[in-house]
Amino acid sequence: MPHSVPARVDLDHRLAPNMKPRHFVETISEANNFWFGSFDVGNSKNLTLLIDTGSSDVIVNPGLYKEGPHSVDTHSKFINTYGTTESDGSGTGTVTGTLYNDPVKFGAVTAYQTIGSAQPDANGEALIPADGIVGFAGLEVSSFHGASPFFHSLCEQGKVSPCRFGITLGDNGKGTLLLGALDQALFKGDLSTTSIIQEWALYADIALNGKIIKKDALVELDTGTATVIGPLVDVIAIFKAASIQYVVQTSKDSGTSVTGYFPCDRPPTLGLSIPSQSNATAAAKQNSKLVSHHSSTFNIAPDQWIAADNGSNNCTAILSGTDAFPIPDLWVVGQREFSRLYLKWH
């Protein structure tokens, strides 16, 4: 979900205090363009929870949370609004419920954690896919009144060290979530590194056919979004430059949006250049050891471009535009961009 972003800050290395290295590797899986892991929350076992780097809270869908022996009812309510709730990148919705403290277990690692037990919506349904969600973003976007997000809890409680995680999303419906580890066997070459603004937003350049067309774009890396959504004006410019047909629609509730359509056998070549050229230049001048001195462009894989196959060699693009985000120049880059890439958050 888009949110307010503070001034640019350097990459923050958070280490678990006085801890020897502790790392864990867990399998995640894809369903309906979202990625899920298996979690225990209190006495609720084997919950299928969405892995989301675009939000911060652990929320269990209505009727699924069972209090464990260490459960504490905080007698506090929460309200959390999500964007891009549908597998096509559309949709918004609000979740409300009650806050508890209870252990949250993911594979071999457990944190004592504030969690939300959601109430059903007006139609008696759950907004979040499967059994709920685990946010891997920072405290800046939490709706739990200052309670630590799950990954922060793991670090603060000494369960993971150093305080970093990595994600790989394969093209076979299987992926990997690494806690506290950098697995060089999962990628080739050198990592491109950059500074973050907050967890997990950064500056990148947008490249079309290998040429930079947008410098220093504000990008949120969001595994809980299935598509790529950019500012309306920028996306229309990209569609025009790539000769992609598009339709602009205006809604009283959701503002103006643009959707693109392209020949299924001729997807465009669009990607992120990380770090942005300006950040890479600054890092080289400062001889920074944290930020790469050269930019690398990571293109969306051609087979990831199709949001919907409309027949007759006409496909809906995963890229769309909107003017409804609270931050007008924000790009929300979902997991289609991450296919076959190794991403490390630190």
Intrachain domains 24-184 and 187-345 with the same fold: yes
Element (H, E) at 99: strand 92-106
Domain 24-184 coded CATH 2.40.70.10: yes
Residue 247: CB atoms within 10 A of its CB come to 11
* pLDDT per residue as tens digits for the range 316-332: 999 999 998 888 899 99
Report the distance separating Cα 229 and Cα 248, nearest Å: 14
Most trustworthy range by pLDDT among 142-146, 176-180, 224-228, 261-265: 261-265
Token pair for residue 218? 């504000």
In this prediction, residue 342 carries a pLDDT of 65
Quote the radius of gyration of the chain (alpha carbons, Å).
Answer: 20
**Three-class secondary structure of residue 249 per DSSP:** strand
The CATH class, in words, for 187-345 is mainly beta
How many beta carbons lie within 10 A of that of residue 173, not counting itself? 11
Q: For 83-106, how does the pLDDT look when each residue is reduced to its tens digit (9 = 90+)?
A: 766 666 666 789 999 999 999 999
pLDDT tens by residue, 230-247: 999 999 999 999 999 999
Kindly indicate the confidence band of residue 20, based on its pLDDT and cuts at 50, 70 and 90.
low
pLDDT value at 16 more than 70: no
What are the extents of the domains in the chain?
Answer: 24-184, 187-345
pLDDT for 172 equals: 81
